[in-house]
Amino acid sequence: MFTDVLFEVADGVGKATLNRPQQMNALTLDMIRALDDKLAEWAGDASIRAVMIHGAGDKAFCAGGDIRALYDAKKSGNGTLLSEFFWHEYRLDYRIATYPKQLIAVMDGLTMGGGAGIGLNAPVRVASERVVFSMPECAIGLYPDIGAAHFLQRCPGELGMFLALTGLRLRTAGLYYCNLVTHTVPSERLGRLMPESLSIDNMTTRTADISKLQPAIDVCFGLNSVDAIITALENRNDPGSTDSLNLLRRSSPTSLKVTFEHMRRMRGKTLADVLKQDWRISRHMMAGSEFFEGVRALLIERDNEPKWNPPTRSEVSEAIVNRYFEKLPDEPDLDLKL
């Protein structure tokens, strides 16, 4: 019996619970397919008026995709999993964003990567005081996918670009300040949360620390290249700029430049546009080695010494970056007809 996602219906509300708490509810392909299928079923069920998505336990809503499974698939030559995972994940994210009924993501604990794809693409986005959000993909040789180049456009100023490149962690107040969540609810109330209680359960969040950093972020991360951003940060003499530099320097040079270009190109684009481009970039990355080297160094062998290729930003040419945006030969573009 499949129990990695649990489903129930009560009082006309469908509830889906990501149920791998020991793995921080990390998404597998089977979980993605099960959730997508159930959402499609509930969309056509007239007795269901709303849907809520939760994560089991109190540590994580969803810490992302099961990247260990992707790493193992690459090692074993299982190209089918590497393709189908992203195809179905992006279609699920699109279904969530365009759902015909009220859909509420209830985020409590870690919400990263693929978990943010579910939580932050939802029309109604609830965060408890225990939420920790991040898009840390550049540090593992990937890039912020799952529609992040769309939902990060909600952030004021250049905070979206900043979060995409640095992977800085935000807590609830920061998420609210960045327009990434619509409601904040104390964790003690989540067990009895219903769609109609959202308007009375909101709590006041403290002032977001990131709001104090925004003026400097807008100046530096509004520049026209990764190199210019890093130079500007190097020329500043403040703790925030130093912290940002440290986050950028740990990341893959290729990932930084691809992410910057993706964020730049997708400004003003629809979620469908972004997900279709996400698909192309991800297919290139799964065909390459950068992501798998990052996973090896940081999560498998944990030597924390990834050997990026190319190893420096200066060696990541415009031609290399542009290649990630091209359609792969003999491969279809992402189909978002649900």
pLDDT, tens only, 53-63 = 999 999 999 99
Could you give the CA distance from residue 140 to residue 258 in angstroms, rounded to a whole number?
13
Ordered by start, the domain boundaries in the chain are 1-330
The pLDDT, as a whole number, for residue 154 is 97
Stated pTM of the model: 0.96
In CATH, which superfamily holds the domain spanning 1-330?
2-enoyl-CoA Hydratase; Chain A, domain 1 (3.90.226.10)
pLDDT, tens only, 145-199 = 999 999 999 999 999 999 999 999 999 999 999 999 999 999 999 988 999 888 6
Which of these, 4, 142, 21, 137, lies nearest to 74 by C-alpha position?
142
Catalytic residues: 65, 114, 137, 145
Q: In this structure, what is the dihedral angle of CA atoms 283, 287, 293, 295, given to the nearest 10 degrees?
A: 40
